[in-house]
């Protein structure tokens, strides 16, 4: 059982700052709300890094928008919004490495009907890794299941099948399930509460390695 829980140490802080003004009454300038990330690795001291909210932090689904010229019509110029993905090569690297884990392989073989691990839910794992922004080597088996569980929370109406993950992680030990749920909430916080992933973004993630065997886990092919 994995014992590294790097998502468990994110907290939110917000402190107003005072900006002086020549007049007698001071003017209070507040920072935009946002989490100050505290990353705790086992056996290492706290390292606190605070930052102000940037405009890009408010863009949904972990992507940024850019504008490109679509066409010229007389004196008018039509623009179209072009999304720029924030998924990094190391996020794919971490995902592919975890697919080789024997427990993950047994779980995927068990879910033959793709109730909790079809290609879109698996693509969401990579999206969550990108939004958390951790180095690829820090992701372990537990993080794969945490991200997949959160993806099922967002996309699936039937919540029962996802509980099969507990059997592969903990066997018949039910005492660890409460800790798993707590860690899932920490992952949710680590990705900035942005758990929604569009179908378009999932397809862009799959297009990075279009021939990957895992993208053949398509429910439409089972019907």
In this structure, of 20-29, 157-166, 182-191, the range with the lowest mean pLDDT score is: 20-29
Per the model's pLDDT, the better-predicted residue between 23 and 172 turns out to be 172
Residue 176 burial (CB count, 10 A)? 14
φ, ψ dihedrals at 215, nearest 5°: -75, -5
Residues 6+ apart with CB under 8 A from 219: 114, 118
Return the pLDDT at 159.
Answer: 80
DSSP string for residues in 2-66: ----GGGG-EE----EEE--SSSS-EEEPPPP-EEEEE--TTS--EEE--PPPGGGGSGGG-EEE
- Average confidence (pLDDT) over 196-209: 95
Return the pLDDT at 158.
Answer: 82
Per the model's pLDDT, the better-predicted residue between 85 and 100 turns out to be 100
Return the pLDDT at 84.
Answer: 60
Return the pLDDT at 128.
Answer: 97
- Average confidence (pLDDT) over 151-174: 91
> Mean pLDDT across the chain, nearest whole number?
76
Return the pLDDT at 78.
Answer: 59
- Average confidence (pLDDT) over 79-87: 63
Which tokens in the block code for residue 38? 């505290």
Say whether pLDDT at 222 is over 50.
Answer: yes
């Amino acid at each position: 059982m994995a014992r590294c829980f790097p998502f468990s140490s994110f907290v939110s802080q917000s402190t107003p700052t005072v900006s002086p003004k020549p007049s007698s009454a001071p003017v209070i300038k507040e920072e935009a709300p946002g989490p100050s990330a505290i990353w705790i690795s086992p056996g290492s001291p706290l390292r606190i890094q605070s930052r102000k909210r940037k405009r890009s932090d408010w863009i949904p689904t972990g992507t940024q928008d850019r504008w490109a010229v679509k066409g010229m019509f007389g004196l008018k110029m039509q623009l179209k919004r072009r999304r720029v993905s924030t998924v990094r090569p190391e996020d794919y690297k971490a995902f592919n490495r975890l697919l080789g884990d024997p427990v993950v392989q047994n779980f995927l073989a068990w879910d033959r009907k793709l109730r909790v691990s079809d290609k879109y839910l698996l693509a969401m794992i990579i999206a969550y890794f990108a939004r958390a922004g951790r180095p690829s080597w820090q992701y372990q088996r537990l993080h794969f299941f945490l991200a997949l569980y959160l993806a099922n929370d967002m996309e699936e109406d039937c919540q029962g099948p996802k509980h099969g993950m507990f059997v592969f992680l903990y066997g018949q030990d039910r005492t660890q399930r409460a800790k798993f749920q707590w860690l899932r909430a920490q992952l949710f916080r680590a990705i900035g509460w942005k758990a929604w992933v569009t179908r378009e973004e999932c397809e862009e993630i799959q297009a990075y390695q279009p021939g990957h065997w895992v993208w053949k886990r398509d429910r439409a092919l089972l019907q």
